[in-house]
Amino acid sequence: MSKNLNLRSRLLCVTTAMSLLLLATGGYGVRGIAQANAALRSVYDDRLAALGHLEQVARAGLHTQLQLALASDAASAPATLQAVQATLKRERMAWDAYMATSLTPEETLAARHVAALRTDFATDVFAPALAALRTHNYREVARIMRGPMQQRYPQVQQAMSELIDMQLVVAKAACDHAQADYIVRRAVSLAAMALGLLMAAMAGWRHCTAARWPRWVKTWRRSAKAQTGAPAVAAASPASPAPWR
């Protein structure tokens, strides 16, 4: 079929095919870049930022315990109470910011477990301690610090540590997925480049052989053929002179 096409039609077909290959390869690469950019943005927004929010929550919990432990007299009670309330407010804001990030199903279950533990701890430990601090009952504050707080806070701390470790696991999985996608796209891009070079080489060779030879090349080829076939023609002709004896 290609023999019935002229040179212009062949050039048009090859140019169209290579243009389509170029568009497909470029679109595939641009899509890969967009996915890599989205994955990198997700690692920061949903993992690093979430890790920072969880760290603020854990630090606020320890800071609240330290503030309650330092409350020892009526003169410092109002300032301590105000500082504890401000710390608890920052803790709630940090937790709400963490819950606003994109969570995996496993992470959602773990976050709900931590939220339940934090709610119970605030109700059973922080609320009675603050009530005792408002009435200047420092013995009750000390009892809560030595009793319920020391007994129940390790559970909250353990759940928070597992949630923080989960951020690293999910970030590592996203990084591995991006690395695997890069390997596949690199292989496809290299194969497309090799195919394009092969198509260009084959098209150039076919077009060069299909092009018309210059006039001096045609004359040279006719003379070469004539010289090659001269003895046979002379032997077959009856008008040719007899060979020399």
Q: Half-sphere exposure of 109 toward its Cβ, with a 13 Å CA cutoff? A: 2
Q: What is the pLDDT of residues 30-60, one digit of tens each?
A: 888 888 788 778 788 778 888 889 999 999 8
pLDDT (0 to 100) of residue 158: 92
pLDDT (0 to 100) of residue 239: 47
| Token code pair at residue 164 | 């923080």
SS3 212: coil
- CA-to-CA distance for 52 and 44, rounded, in angstroms? 10
Number of other residues whose CB lies within 10 A of the CB of residue 55: 14
Residue 168 has pLDDT above 60, yes or no: yes
pLDDT (0 to 100) of residue 230: 47
Stretch 74-94: mean pLDDT: 86
- CA-to-CA distance for 133 and 121, rounded, in angstroms? 17
| Token code pair at residue 144 | 């809560």
Give the residue ranges of DSSP H helices in 100-237: 105-121, 127-134, 138-144, 150-210, 215-236
pLDDT (0 to 100) of residue 175: 83
- CA-to-CA distance for 212 and 147, rounded, in angstroms? 101
pLDDT (0 to 100) of residue 219: 63
pLDDT (0 to 100) of residue 180: 86
pLDDT (0 to 100) of residue 235: 42
pLDDT tier at 114, thresholds 50, 70, 90: very high
Question: What is the DSSP code (8-state) at residue 245?
Answer: -
Radius of gyration of the chain (CA): 42
pLDDT (0 to 100) of residue 229: 57
Q: What is the pLDDT of residues 183-224, one digit of tens each?
A: 888 888 888 888 878 877 777 676 666 555 555 555 666 676
pLDDT (0 to 100) of residue 245: 39
- CA-to-CA distance for 204 and 219, rounded, in angstroms? 25
Cα dihedral sign for 130, 134, 139, 140?
negative
Q: How many residues in the chain? A: 245
Please tell me which of 53-57, 70-74, 132-136 the model is most confident about, judged by mean pLDDT: 53-57
SS3 104: coil
| Token code pair at residue 187 | 């292989």
pLDDT (0 to 100) of residue 232: 43
Is the separation of the CB atoms in 105 and 39 below 8 Å? no
